[in-house]
């Protein structure tokens, strides 16, 4: 019996040695990031999860580093390049920096128009106690996340100053930029308004698979 235990301990020790060796080898392996592919002169492609070299950015809201293309910055740069018009159709719009860029362009005389999905046409202050009570679990979770996003000083209260900094629709509404939704024709909406595109000067088009919201 004693001999059996000795052999068992030796076997366990061998397995532990191999396991630690594998961990050491794994830690020493560095994954080389590939060089980015050249962009087409007329059609450029970007990814919010991009493992190519140089495709890193810092999230301006949460101050975290992310491996991917900064899609918000690309959109803002395109907005800033506008000479006459900016037309946007997007289901949900929650990114304040894009809203601020649009306001600046509108103040310069650029014609800005926005279409949203009717379920996302509310600024934060439009939510009533009744609406919040009737929210589904998922909707309440999203509401709480947005509350935390706007509550810059984490005091569990939302001030007008915080709304002016973080609530995209409040920022847009104060500028009188025209915003309509898919009930504009008098219907209740189709539930299919999932567009996500922007047209600048009738010649530059940005089409995305993501809403104007925080990346996960």
pLDDT digits (tens, 9 = 90+) for 52-81: 877 888 999 999 988 889 999 999 999 999
Architecture of the domain spanning 33-207: 2-Layer Sandwich (3.30)
Decide if pLDDT at 150 tops 80.
Answer: yes
| pLDDT in the model for residue 4 | 46
Give me the mean pLDDT over the 117-135 stretch: 94
Q: Which of 166, 200, 176, 168 is nearest to 106 (CA)?
A: 176
pLDDT digits (tens, 9 = 90+) for 79-92: 999 999 999 999 99
Whether residue 57 contacts residue 69, with contact meaning beta carbons closer than 8 Å, is answered with yes
Q: How sure is the predictor about 142, in pLDDT bands with cuts at 50, 70 and 90?
A: very high
What is the maximum alpha-carbon separation in the chain?
A: 91
**Pairing mode, if any, of strands 56-58 and 65-67?**
antiparallel
pTM above 0.85, yes or no: no
């Amino acid at each position: 019996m004693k001999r059996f235990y000795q052999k068992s301990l030796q076997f366990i020790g061998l397995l532990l040695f191999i396991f630690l060796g594998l961990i050491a080898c794994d830690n020493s392996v560095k994954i080389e990031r590939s060089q980015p592919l050249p962009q087409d002169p007329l059609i450029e492609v970007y990814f919010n999860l991009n493992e190519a070299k140089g495709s890193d950015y810092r999230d301006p809201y949460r101050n975290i580093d992310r491996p991917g293309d900064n899609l918000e910055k690309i959109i803002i740069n395109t907005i800033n390049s506008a000479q006459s018009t900016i037309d946007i159709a997007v289901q949900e719009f929650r990114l304040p920096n894009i809203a601020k860029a649009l306001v600046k362009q509108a103040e310069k005389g650029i014609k800005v128009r926005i279409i949203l999905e009717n379920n996302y046409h509310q600024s934060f202050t439009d939510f009533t106690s009744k609406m919040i009570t009737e929210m589904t679990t998922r909707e309440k979770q999203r509401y709480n996340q947005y509350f935390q996003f706007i509550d810059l000083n984490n005091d569990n209260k939302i001030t007008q100053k915080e709304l002016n900094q973080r609530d995209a629709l409040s920022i847009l509404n104060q500028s009188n930029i025209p915003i309509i939704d898919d009930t504009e024709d008098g219907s209740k909406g189709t539930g299919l308004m999932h567009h996500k595109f922007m047209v600048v000067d009738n010649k530059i088009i940005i089409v995305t698979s993501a809403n104007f919201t925080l990346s996960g």
